[in-house]
Chains A and B, each alone.
Chain A
């Protein structure tokens, strides 16, 4: 990774809230033109990391920089767009008015109509915010995040409350923005969202980056693959095979988790000529994620025991 393109970073940042350590020496950098997804269990420190980059809180120690400046400086924040997880906007204002006031904060704003078109809310411009559904409100907040032609967008759980069509429309809008040169920091609970969008994924646990890399690299981290098929071979026999990690029947199908998929498939085909609907899948990000957080917890436990 080339440091020349770094536009925002946390370096050795610690942050405590009373007795709770939210960030424990985290290092995180965001590069121009990339979409970085932050994943991690609740309370891992994702929101704290973002709020430091937005200048909402100060770090106890370490360096926080946004475009080479302190995020508390308004000039640094004029280059970002923000969509927070929980912000209730004034219910009596119309969508157009919300976009107009947000755009006024920036030196070189996008036209209201353009923001609305990108976020797919052109038909909502004259509606009051309170009259919108949860998913529509999220799209309005997304449009507000675009209002300043931001070079860097912070999207905190952007698709919560959206139906599947709205979610995919937002994903494609985000992809277009990244293609147009914007960088995005995304936090999400939906692993498929990270899978669909992210160039790079950072898994945060207990206030530190546990692992980072491309979605593929993360998935490769987990060697387990999943075999599904319909077979007459009983499950308990397959469970006993040494190559098999686990086997079960799900809705009449055999599901096998294994690190040696080829061997298992060969044995299955040899035993059951009538086997059908065979599928072999690499673990999704969900499995990778579970495994990574479990590994880091195990490592922590081992460290504490030592």
Chain B
């Protein structure tokens, strides 16, 4: 049984492999840019909230309110691209058989997730830029170039922890039930992390509970970036990295088992 099955296996050059990742990311970005149902809420919710509570209604508050709320709503703004962009879209792709098709095709392993990650990073950059513009030109928050850069990098990279949480949620829920499940995490987490109301006006036990939420740590980092931090930057960053690693591991395990 002299077979010729194994002969002439085509190799994939590094350039073509890289191109596969680029094309996958490009397709993923285009796919969501053309989806107003995802794009508009993602961009409008944080900016409208900030406009109302951070700019119009904050005139009578302390001058630092607009600065403080930039971190809160900025953090709120990068939660959605990660949680929905990953969680809901993964759940839908699984239900619709798209993920199955991609697994059958010779898509480079990881291209699918890298593609979604690029989409989330891009959305996070857009939202963060909008928030910074509102703060600087609308609320006249005084920010140095270093503050702006630090805030931008913090928020944009901060989306990754929500990507990994979204990935995990996307492996738990299927299709239509995913938006509900994601909202069940998204809205309470935003509230309990002090993104809508400062933690200081909340009951003590909720304040004590805040560090279990990833959004709380990102908010603390964002505050530090614009000069309102209470220190512990390294600890918050490490906690976020830890959350990301745990979510990713759990999600990878579920994906390997259930596909």
| Interface of A toward B, CB cutoff 8 Å | 3-7, 51, 54-56, 65, 67-69, 74-80, 82, 84, 86-90, 92-93, 97-98, 100-102, 104-108, 128, 148, 154
Residue of B27, B35, B96, B108 touching A74 (CB-CB under 8 A): B108
Which DSSP category, helix, strand, loop or mixed, fits chain B's interface?
Answer: loop
Q: In the complex, what residues of A have CB within 8 A of residue B200's CB?
A: none
In the complex, what residue of chain A is closest to B12 when comparing beta carbons? Answer: A107
Q: In the complex, what residues of B have CB within 8 A of residue A89's CB?
A: 98, 101
Once the chains bind, are B106 and A101 in contact (CB under 8 Å)?
no
CA of A107 to CA of B35, assembled, Å: 31
In the complex, what residue of chain A is closest to B22 when comparing beta carbons? Answer: A104
CA of A26 to CA of B20, assembled, Å: 36
CA of A7 to CA of B1, assembled, Å: 13
Q: In the complex, what residues of B have CB within 8 A of residue A7's CB?
A: 5
CA of A106 to CA of B23, assembled, Å: 12
Q: Provided the pairs A82-B104, A84-B101 are in contact, do residues A68 and B3 lie with their beta carbons within 8 angstroms?
A: yes
Minimal beta-carbon separation of A225 from chain B (angstroms)? 40
8 Å CB interface, B27-47 against A: 27, 30-32, 34-35
Q: In the complex, what residues of B have CB within 8 A of residue A79's CB?
A: 9-10
CA of A3 to CA of B31, assembled, Å: 45
Please provide the 7 A-B residue pairs with the shortest distance between their CB atoms, ordered closest to farther: A68-B5, A68-B6, A88-B96, A104-B23, A92-B34, A54-B104, A87-B97
Once the chains bind, are A69 and B6 in contact (CB under 8 Å)?
yes
In the complex, what residue of chain B is closest to A89 when comparing beta carbons? Answer: B98
CA of A94 to CA of B107, assembled, Å: 19
Q: In the complex, what residues of A have CB within 8 A of residue B2's CB?
A: 3-4
Q: Provided the pairs A82-B104, A104-B19, A104-B23 are in contact, do residues A67 and B30 lie with their beta carbons within 8 angstroms?
A: no
Q: Tell me if B105 counts as interface (CB < 8 A to partner A).
A: yes
In the complex, what residue of chain B is closest to A75 when comparing beta carbons? Answer: B9
Once the chains bind, are A104 and B20 in contact (CB under 8 Å)?
yes
CA of A247 to CA of B85, assembled, Å: 64
Once the chains bind, are B19 and A4 in contact (CB under 8 Å)?
no
CA of A88 to CA of B259, assembled, Å: 16
14 CB-based A-B contacts, threshold 8 Å: A3-B1, A3-B3, A4-B3, A5-B4, A55-B104, A67-B9, A68-B6, A78-B10, A78-B12, A79-B10, A86-B96, A92-B31, A101-B26, A104-B16
Interface residues on B, range: 35 or more
Q: In the complex, what residues of A have CB within 8 A of residue B176's CB?
A: none
Once the chains bind, are A108 and B10 in contact (CB under 8 Å)?
yes
| B11, B26, B101: residue with the most chain A Cβ atoms closer than 10 Å | B101
Q: Tell me if B13 counts as interface (CB < 8 A to partner A).
A: yes
Q: Tell me if B254 counts as interface (CB < 8 A to partner A).
A: no
Binary A-proximity of B153-189 (CB < 8 A = 1, otherwise 0): 0000000000000000000000000000000000000
Q: Provided the pairs A3-B1, A4-B2, A92-B30 are in contact, do residues A87 and B100 lie with their beta carbons within 8 angstroms?
A: yes
CA of A154 to CA of B101, assembled, Å: 12
In the complex, what residue of chain B is closest to A66 when comparing beta carbons? Answer: B5
Sample of 8 more A-B contacts, CB < 8 Å, known A65-B5, A86-B96, A105-B20: A5-B4, A78-B10, A82-B105, A84-B97, A84-B101, A101-B24, A104-B22, A107-B11
Once the chains bind, are A100 and B23 in contact (CB under 8 Å)?
yes
Once the chains bind, are B100 and A84 in contact (CB under 8 Å)?
yes
Once the chains bind, are A93 and B5 in contact (CB under 8 Å)?
no
In the complex, what residue of chain B is closest to A84 when comparing beta carbons? Answer: B101
Q: In the complex, what residues of A have CB within 8 A of residue B253's CB?
A: none
Minimal beta-carbon separation of A28 from chain B (angstroms)? 15
Residue of B27, B35, B101, B259 touching A87 (CB-CB under 8 A): B101
| A56, A82, A101, A107: residue with the most chain B Cβ atoms closer than 10 Å | A101
Q: In the complex, what residues of A have CB within 8 A of residue B106's CB?
A: 74-75, 77-78, 80, 105-106, 148
Q: Provided the pairs A68-B6, A78-B10 are in contact, do residues A87 and B98 lie with their beta carbons within 8 angstroms?
A: yes
Q: Provided the pairs A68-B3, A107-B10, A107-B13 are in contact, do residues A102 and B105 lie with their beta carbons within 8 angstroms?
A: yes
Q: In the complex, what residues of A have CB within 8 A of residue B32's CB?
A: 92
Once the chains bind, are A4 and B4 in contact (CB under 8 Å)?
yes
Once the chains bind, are A90 and B98 in contact (CB under 8 Å)?
yes
Q: Tell me if B144 counts as interface (CB < 8 A to partner A).
A: no
Residue of B12, B19, B103 touching A55 (CB-CB under 8 A): B103
